[in-house]
Structure formats: C-alpha cells, structure tokens
Structure 1
Amino acid sequence: MGHLFDAITLGLLALLPLINPPTTVALFLALSQGLSREEKNQQALLTAVNVFLIMIITYYVGALIMDIFNISIPGLRIAGGGILIIIGARMLFPQPPQPSVARNEAERASFAFVPLAMPSTAGPGTIALIISASSALKHNTTFPAWVIQVAPPLIFLATALILWGCLRASDLIMKVTGRSGIDAVSRIMGFLLVCMGVQFAINGSLEIVQTLINNNIQLLRNS
C-alpha cells in the first residue's frame, strides 16, 4: 500500500498545479452569477465529473484518438487557446442583460463542460501531461505492475474530488466579495483567459516551429 500512496501523491503533485483549483473557482464564480445555490452545486458536481471523465479517457485512449484524427499537442494547444480567447472576450466585454429573453436550463448549464472542465481545468497542458505519463508508465520499473493499473484512476478521482470541494466552497467567497466583487472577478478572469488563450496559441506555434527546425536540421545532417 505504501507504493500506491506514493504513486497517488506524485500524481497529485504533478496534476494539481496544472488543474489550478483556485483559478477554476474564480472562473466558476464569474460564470455562475444569477444561479441558485442548488444550480451552483449541480454545476460544481458536473464540472468535477467532466474533469474526471476527460482525464480518464485521455489516459486510456487519448493518444489513440489523437493519432486517429492526426491531432498534435501543438494543435491541441492552439485550439484550446482559441476557445479561451473567445470565452475570455465575452467575459471581459459582457453583453447588456436582456430581461425579455429567458435563459433555458441547457444554456445555464453550458459552462460546466466548456470552459470550466475544458479547456480551463483539464486543458491542453493537463492532457499533454496525462498522455506523456501514460506512455512513460508502460516502461516504468519503479512501481509494481498492480500500482500502475490502480493508481491513475484513483489520482484522477482524488483530483476531481478536490476540485468539487473547492467549487462547493465558492458560496463563501461570494458572500465576502458581493455582486460588485463578482463582476470585477468576472472581468479580471476574462482578461486572464484571453492572456492564457494567447499564451496557449503561442506555445503551440513555437512547438510547431521548433519541430520544423529540428526536422530540417535532421535532414541536413542526413544529407
């Protein structure tokens, strides 16, 4: 059991900085304005479930899916960056409210998967780390084979539970900040999301350029 505990601890230490629950909580506060407490709790649970499913699917079949559709990690970063830029711009420059147009349940629940679960929480960096770890663990000799099989789902479950607990605690933050504070947080998070999206796109573009340079260097050496 000691090996299992060590593996879970290492996994959480690697994932939590990328998941960054405090950032997700701030985004959750900004997006959940106007929802009742029950609706917020439902969104918190849906977000945690979505994050768990994204991580577990990525671990077991992520590399295969990306190979089938010929998707690269840089491409994933650029696409995720574009999504964050669009969502961040909407938060930074919100449309004036229209009382005559009621938001239906599907529209109100739409932020549980995008952008909270993906790409804000289980984003390109997290997906890249999980796919890399999945490949590396196939040749791992540090932990017993049974730990390699059992630890990843437990790591993803623990990560989702931590995120769920943080989102459930968002009401306490809202009581302290008030509506004006939430509006300020919304605009700040919108700006940060735009910055994150641009950085994702830059990183993806740089990876593509670096790959092209390395390929050209390899061709020159071979010739």
Structure 2
Amino acid sequence: MTSGYDIANAFLLVYAGLFPIVNPIGGAPIFLGLTRHCTDAERNALALRVTINSFFLLLGSLLVGSYVLEFFGITLPIVRVAGGLVVAATGWSLLQARDEFADDRTAHKPKIPTDAFYPLTMPITVGPGSIAVAITLGSQRPRVPFTQLAFLGAAAIAGVVAMAATIYVCYRFAEGTVGALGQQGTNVVVRLSAFILFCIGIEIIWSGYSALAHVAG
C-alpha cells in the first residue's frame, strides 16, 4: 500500500528536480526584458499563457517524453545539444539587442512578443535541460501495482502543477520585483541574466557532447 511518505516523496522529487533547472526566479528578468513594452494586462496575459504552455510541456515530457524519443530514435544527449544551441542563441540575441527599453525616445520599439510559446515558454522557461530532467523523472517509474502507481503519478503531476504555479508567480510579479531596481538596475539584471542564459546553453551543449563522446568511446 502506498504511504503518505511515498506520495510526498514523489511530489518533492518532481518539484525539487525541476525547480533548479527551470529556475523561474532567474527567468523573470528575461521575461521582463522581452515584454518590457507590453502593458500590464498584456504582460499578465502572457505570463498566464506561458504558465499553461510550460505545464503541458513539462507534463508531456514527464508522461510520454521517453516514448516519443524512443519512437524517433532520439537520445537525450542529442536533445541537450540541439536545445543547448537554441538556448545559447537566445541568450546571445538578448546580449546583442539594443538597450531600447531604457530609452523610450527611440524611433523603433522592440517587437512585443505575441507568441507565448516561442521563445517565452521554450526555450527560456522550459528549455532542453528541463525537458531532459522531466523525461528522466518520467522514465524512472517504480514497479508497483497499478493502484499505487496511480497515486504516485497523481503526486508527480501535482509537482508539475506546483512548478507551473511558481512560474506564474515569478513572471506575474516580475515587473514589481525587477522594476524596483530602476531602469539602470533592470538593464544590468537583464544583461546579466542573458549572459547566464548563454552560459547555460553552452553548458547544456557540452553536457550533451560529453555524453555522446562517452557513448562513442
């Protein structure tokens, strides 16, 4: 019989496993930088849509991700390399972007993102690292009776729900949190976050390459 400890452990395993790699706190400045010229209503709507997209992306990776990769013959290292390239490219693009939101007098306003999936949901919020972690967690299903597996699965899904709620809170209040730094402070945080995002992309690429080299060796 499934105990409360097992259910709590399944919940915490998913939430604690996803939180460091999803890192919604660190993603909030990037989200704010990309939606700087949105109205509050537009930004809040985008935050909600990103949250919903992230939930289904993580849930899908958790439940069927390993089967999808197996069907197409794709390995996790390949996902890391390809996804890392996208993450690094996004970070580099943000680093090279003109500091337009610091000066409202510029003639050309940055394009307000209307697609909440790319790049706000993927790869900024749920990148290849997050997908790889979710797939790994989903592939480690214990061999227990179906009734117990159902309880553990519900707890794991609850962990994804909690992760999505954390994303929404961080993005929903990004303006108030980061905006307290002022324009210059916000610029610094966004640039620093973009550089960290670029470094994360390189790290993901290296991780995938190392795994491939190990298999080839």
Moved more, 64-73 or 30-39: 64-73
Note if contact 1:47-1:117 (Cα within 8 Å) is conserved in structure 2: yes
The answer to whether 1:81 aligns with 2:84 is yes
The aligned counterpart of 2:17 is: 14
Offset at residue 144 of structure 1 (A): 2.5
Change (3 A) 1:100 1:144: closer
2: distance between equivalents of 1:179 and 1:25?
Answer: 15
Q: Deviations over 1:84-141 (max 9, x none)?
A: 12211211111476736784xxx5223x323332223322222222222222214258
The answer to whether 1:38 aligns with 2:41 is yes
2: distance between equivalents of 1:100 and 1:20?
Answer: 31
Unaligned runs of 5+ in 2: 101-105
Is the radius of gyration larger for structure 1 or structure 2? 1
Offset at residue 54 of structure 1 (A): 0.5
The answer to whether 1:125 aligns with 2:129 is yes
Offset at residue 154 of structure 1 (A): 1.5
The answer to whether 1:149 aligns with 2:157 is no
2: distance between equivalents of 1:135 and 1:212?
Answer: 23
The answer to whether 1:68 aligns with 2:71 is yes
Note if contact 2:62-2:138 (Cα within 8 Å) is conserved in structure 1: yes
User: Match of 2:42, as an amino acid?
Assistant: E
Unaligned runs of 5+ in 1: 214-223
Aligned structure 1 segments of 4 or more residues deviating by more than 6 angstroms: none
Q: Find 1:99's aligned residue among 81, 104, 107.
A: 107
The aligned counterpart of 2:138 is: 134
How many equivalent residue pairs?
208
Give the TM-score, by structure 1 length.
Answer: 0.82
Offset at residue 75 of structure 1 (A): 1.1
Offset at residue 185 of structure 1 (A): 2.1
Note if contact 1:30-1:185 (Cα within 8 Å) is conserved in structure 2: no
Change (3 A) 1:34 1:101: closer
2: distance between equivalents of 1:85 and 1:145?
Answer: 38
User: Match of 2:126, as an amino acid?
Assistant: A
The aligned counterpart of 2:114 is: 109
The aligned counterpart of 1:47 is: 50
The aligned counterpart of 1:216 is: none
Identity of aligned residues (%): 26
Note if contact 2:14-2:137 (Cα within 8 Å) is conserved in structure 1: no
CA RMSD of aligned residues (A): 2.4
1: distance between equivalents of 2:109 and 2:76?
Answer: 40
Note if contact 1:84-1:115 (Cα within 8 Å) is conserved in structure 2: no
Give the TM-score, by structure 2 length.
Answer: 0.85
Q: Deviations over 1:7-39 (max 9, x none)?
A: 323322222122212111121122111111111
Moved more, 143-152 or 188-197: 143-152
Q: Deviations over 1:175-221 (max 9, x none)?
A: 311222222222222222221111111111111000111xxxxxxxx
1: distance between equivalents of 2:64 and 2:207?
Answer: 24
